[in-house]
Amino acid sequence: MDRKDVNYGEYLHLDQILHAQFPESDRLNMPAHDEMLFIVIHQAYELWFKQLLYEVESVAGIMKKPAVNDNSPELQTVVHRLSRTVTILKVLVHQIDIMETMTPMDFLDFRDMLRPASGFQSWQFKILEARLGLKFEHRYGQEYYISQLQTAQINAIRHAESEKSVLQLLNDWLERMPFFEEPENWADYQPVTNAGHDANEHIFWNDYRQIYAGSLADAEQSNREQFNKVFLENTGTGLSAKACRAALFIMLYRGYPLLQLPFQLLNSLLEIDEQLSTWRYRHMNMVHRMIGTRIGTGGSTGRDYLKGALDKHYIFADIARLTSFLIERRKLPGLSQKMERRLGFL
């Protein structure tokens, strides 16, 4: 096909984008200057949501493969795109600074004209949450979840929920870590503790559990039981016990070259949760500043709903809680020579 010259405006379809703002206040002949800002910011949000979904879908596409080489361009691509996702989420947080240049009285000039439209009707954001791993049963305010959406939007969300999420794919990827399934990696392992070895438990984890227990303060003794629940039992949360063991091992020995990219992957997912939480927190405070205790234009409880979502909608909480089970670096068990060679690309 012959190549033709590309025009900037035509390439970006600026004629459509720049003429896609139709303030209700203009239509009703009740001018409200700040409604234009309100529309542009929310349109920008939806464009960023589209890009976030594009990145997350590409990550899921790579991670759903039967095997992902931890020393490969594929894993580097996953880490890079997750890092980009974090950066975009930071932009979403900072856009609230622009929104907050609008005062409560400026907002009241057009707020009632928007009913029952609401940011709660953003189906793209709901799809993004679902693709990352937020399950319906873990959502706050389930009664509002899809109550105001159109059938096509609901179907798109349901489809997203039926696909394996990034959290589920992460669990599968972590469970495939081979190191503990290969006896030769531990043939010359020297335990740090003198505790008797439980035949049902891997020699490394039996040793590590004893070291960890010895590091606890008196007020932290309940963590012994939590350790067993997280790493030895399947509690039915986002990550299995096997996946949690693999993730903790990555955190503990991330200094080895082979574990650098896996650690960056886990860290990027924690940053995604942190930025989503920050965005919800800023959004909640902005709503409280703008409308106080009044209900949202879509009928939600306003600030109270946002507070509930902030407290409950952590997607990668299972990764975050693993830091409760770290020990000081100087107390880490030394690995076998064979394992060190594997982790060091030797």
Is 319 annotated to bind ligand?
no
Q: Residue 292 burial by CB count (10 A; 0-12/13-18/19+): exposed, middle or buried?
A: exposed
User: Helix, strand, or coil here: 107?
Assistant: helix
Q: What is the CA radius of gyration of the chain?
A: 25
Domains of the chain: 28-343 (1.20.58.480)
Please provide the DSSP assignment of 47-97 as one string: HHHHHHHHHHHHHHHHHTSS---TTSHHHHHHHHHHHHHHHHHHHHHHHHH
Report the predicted TM-score, pTM, of the whole model to 2 decimal places: 0.90
Whether 245 has a binding-site annotation, put simply, is no
Q: Does the annotation list 272 as a binding residue?
A: no
Q: What tens digit of pLDDT does each residue of 171-229 get?
A: 999 999 888 888 888 888 888 887 666 667 888 999 999 999 999 998 888 889 999 99
CA 283-284-289 angle, 5° bins: 95
Q: Mean pLDDT, consecutive 10-residue segments, the chain of 346 residues?
A: 88 97 96 96 97 98 85 90 98 95 94 83 92 82 72 91 95 92 86 72 90 91 90 80 96 94 97 94 86 64 67 86 94 89 76
Give tens-digit pLDDT for 129-173.
999 998 877 776 666 677 778 899 989 999 999 999 999 999 999
Q: Would you put residue 2 in left (φ > 0), alpha (ψ -120 to 50) or beta?
A: beta
283 is in an annotated binding site: yes
Residue 297 labeled ligand binder: yes
Q: Is 138 annotated as a binding residue?
A: no
**What is residue 3's DSSP assignment?**
-
